[in-house]
Chain A
């Protein structure tokens, strides 16, 4: 019941900005958008989250469209260590009433020299 759609793979040159798109056209007004990444053989790592406004932290920027139906994660200066699977996630309220993250299959980003 993932609510997001992402391209399966993307390439980026080292030092350039990586722009990872995500569609979440069925998102509800109070559901947050999260981004996590997973480097090979490691657990997922939190990157950033947002509701309506654009957000920026030391790792990345999150741009959410005004209608909230899509968003873009921006890694401003990609390095080789940014090669990973990036998950765009909508946090939903489960059947028990508690919030939960529903991961999709993500985008495999390959950063090359």
Chain B
């Protein structure tokens, strides 16, 4: 079974430029999460989707960050414009209510963003 796929793995941009990250969750997983992980810290939840609906985006900085999950499968996280402080790893995770009852989140490898 394929895991959570993220691309690109690495991205270097200059400040004020836009950037987008893509995530393909595990097939059949209805819940998708985007996390931000700063160096030396644990991941912090940015947004949670149930199918195509964003049910928790309270931690998403909406002035520059946006996300979408069209058709309830793949998801894209965008930053426009990027700032130096956005340099971090962006993790995508997915889960399903079946199997472990939604208790286990499966994480992708992340996209490491560097803003110069």
Please report A residues at the B interface, Cβ cutoff 8 Å. Answer: 2, 32, 34, 41-46, 49, 87, 94-96, 98, 100-106
Q: How far is it, in angstroms, between the C-alpha of A47 and the C-alpha of B75 when the chains are bound? A: 26
Tell me whether B55 and A45 are in contact (CB under 8 A). no
Q: From A87, which residue of chain B is reached at the shortest CB distance?
A: B42
The SS class assigned to the B binding surface is loop
Tell me whether A49 and B42 are in contact (CB under 8 A). no
Q: How far is it, in angstroms, between the C-alpha of A98 and the C-alpha of B66 when the chains are bound? A: 20
Contacts of B40 in A (CB 8 A): 105
Tell me whether B43 and A103 are in contact (CB under 8 A). yes
Tell me whether A94 and B109 are in contact (CB under 8 A). no
Q: How far is it, in angstroms, between the C-alpha of A47 and the C-alpha of B37 when the chains are bound? A: 19
The SS class assigned to the A binding surface is loop
B interface, how many residues as a size bin?
20 to 34
Tell me whether A103 and B48 are in contact (CB under 8 A). no
Tell me whether A98 and B43 are in contact (CB under 8 A). no
Tell me whether B109 and A41 are in contact (CB under 8 A). yes
Tell me whether A45 and B56 are in contact (CB under 8 A). no
- Which parts of B80-99 form the interface with A (CB within 8 Å)? 91, 93
- Residue B25, interface by CB 8 Å: no
A10 → B minimal CB distance (Å) = 17
- Residue B14, interface by CB 8 Å: no
Tell me whether B107 and A105 are in contact (CB under 8 A). no
Q: How far is it, in angstroms, between the C-alpha of A98 and the C-alpha of B105 when the chains are bound? A: 15
- Beyond A46-B104, A103-B44, A105-B42, whether A96 also contacts B109 by CB under 8 A is no
Since A49-B103, A98-B56 are in contact, a sample of 18 more A-B pairs with Cβ atoms closer than 8 Å, ordered by chain A residue number, is A34-B103, A42-B110, A43-B4, A43-B110, A44-B93, A44-B105, A46-B104, A46-B106, A87-B42, A94-B56, A95-B58, A98-B55, A101-B45, A103-B42, A104-B42, A105-B40, A105-B41, A105-B42
